[in-house]
Amino acid sequence: MLQNPFLTPPQIEGPKSRSWGRGLVFGFQGPPASVTTPANEEDADAFQQGVLAGQQAATNGLDVLTDTCVDLHKESPATADLVPAGFEAVLIGKDIVEAAFASTIVGAVLLLVDLSANATTHFDDPDKALQADAIALQQLLNDMGINDSMALFIGGGVDNTVAQCELKLTPIFRSQDAARSAALAFARPSYVVVSWRTDQSGGMTLVDSG
């Protein structure tokens, strides 16, 4: 799990940790060429270290899961219907799939906000938590001159013959191609790729499957 190197116990939040966190989001988002590195950062060196960490996470994937396996045959959790049409044709356990992708996306957004803005909010309703943290994340991007919403992609490899791991999830990526490649690397009979944007208020979109 990615950690802020300037914010480990017994250290407390300070200029280095704040600058590193902002750099992480700046690098992970991949700002447009027209956006220059902010000049008003508290610690320029820590910011650049964060940018490098963010770029590496965008390339290699942002790990937020301790267990990438999803058991599609377990008892279905009671969750809101977020998965778009299309999952049924690829997967079984639609509501379990929904919960798996949604919780991974929530985990990624919470991690980015916690590392960068130190403004993690807590709600009993995960949809409200995601929406609040997405707003905080977008505000941070806007503050650094990036007006585009952040898109996140996660892939999954599907094999209904693998007990208790019928769905295997990839890390979070910044591109659809990277998520697809990671899902295909599982060498499973089928795959899916889901996307989410900070301006979607929690909604997910099935963007690729095969």
Query: For residue range 47-106, what is the model confidence (pLDDT) as tens digits?
Result: 999 999 999 999 999 888 888 888 877 744 433 333 444 554 445 556 666 777 777 877
Read off the pLDDT of residues 164-176 as tens digits, 9 standing for 90 and up.
Answer: 888 888 998 999 9
Residue 132: CB partners within 8 Å, gap ≥ 6?
121, 123
117 pLDDT band, cuts 50/70/90, is low
Does 17 map to a domain?
Answer: no
Mean of pLDDT values over 130-139 = 77
Does 53 map to a domain?
Answer: no
- In Å, how far from its chain's centre is CA 60? 12
Mean of pLDDT values over 177-197 = 91
Read off the pLDDT of residues 7-25 as tens digits, 9 standing for 90 and up.
Answer: 776 667 788 888 898 888 8
What is the four-CA torsion angle of 8, 152, 206, 208, rounded to 10 degrees?
Answer: -110
Does 44 map to a domain?
Answer: no
Q: Which two tokens stand for residue 22?
A: 């902002």
124 pLDDT band, cuts 50/70/90, is low
For residue 185, the enclosing domain spans: 61-209
Total domains present in the chain: 1
Does 24 map to a domain?
Answer: no
